[in-house]
Amino acid sequence: MENQQYNTNEVYSANFKTGNRTYFINMLGAKNSAKYVKITESRKVGENEYQKNRIMLFQNDLVKLSRVLNQAVSKIKRNEEETSLHQEESLLPNEETTKAEEIKKENSEFPNSGKKWTKEDEEKLEFLFKAGKTVEDLIEIFGRKQKGIETRLVKLGLIEA
């Protein structure tokens, strides 16, 4: 995709930094006057070395992306609100039942959580990560918690702790 030539008429540009990553958002105009967004993630991987990952989304895909992102943000907000409510509540008599239900739900959500990583799993994880899969994608693919995926990526030297 890097070799394709696009008319780089920049329409909008923004960036933000989080930890050792910087995200660049550029809206550009293509030769056919359609708009597309290029999202670049730049991650420091050495003293003066950066790894860049890019995706491009064309105009018709942006509405779909926006809808999915809004749903994800809403879900995150709901989960934060629920967590906040649970923390504020005092211990209830049925707390053990609730914890058992949470563990059961967690086990169905992350069936491989806590299981030993096989060599094949590690190779697949490395391949998919280098191919541009996000941690969220990898969580779903491997059925493991975010912490488990991130810890294994650190062990494999693919991200910094």
Q: What is the pLDDT of residues 72-90, one digit of tens each?
A: 877 887 787 777 766 666 5
Tell me the torsion sign for CA atoms 108, 110, 112, 116: negative
Considering only 93-97, 141-145, 153-157, which range has the smallest mean pLDDT? Answer: 93-97
Task: Tell me what pLDDT residue 154 has.
Answer: 92
Instruction: Read off the pTM.
Output: 0.44
Using CA atoms, how far apart are residues 161 and 148, in angstroms rounded to an integer?
13
Q: What is the pLDDT of residues 44-76, one digit of tens each?
A: 888 888 899 998 888 777 777 777 787 887 788
Residue of 84, 78, 145, 159 whose CA lies nearest to 117: 145
In SS3 terms, 122-152 reads as HHHHHHHHHCCCCHHHHHHHHCCCHHHHHHH
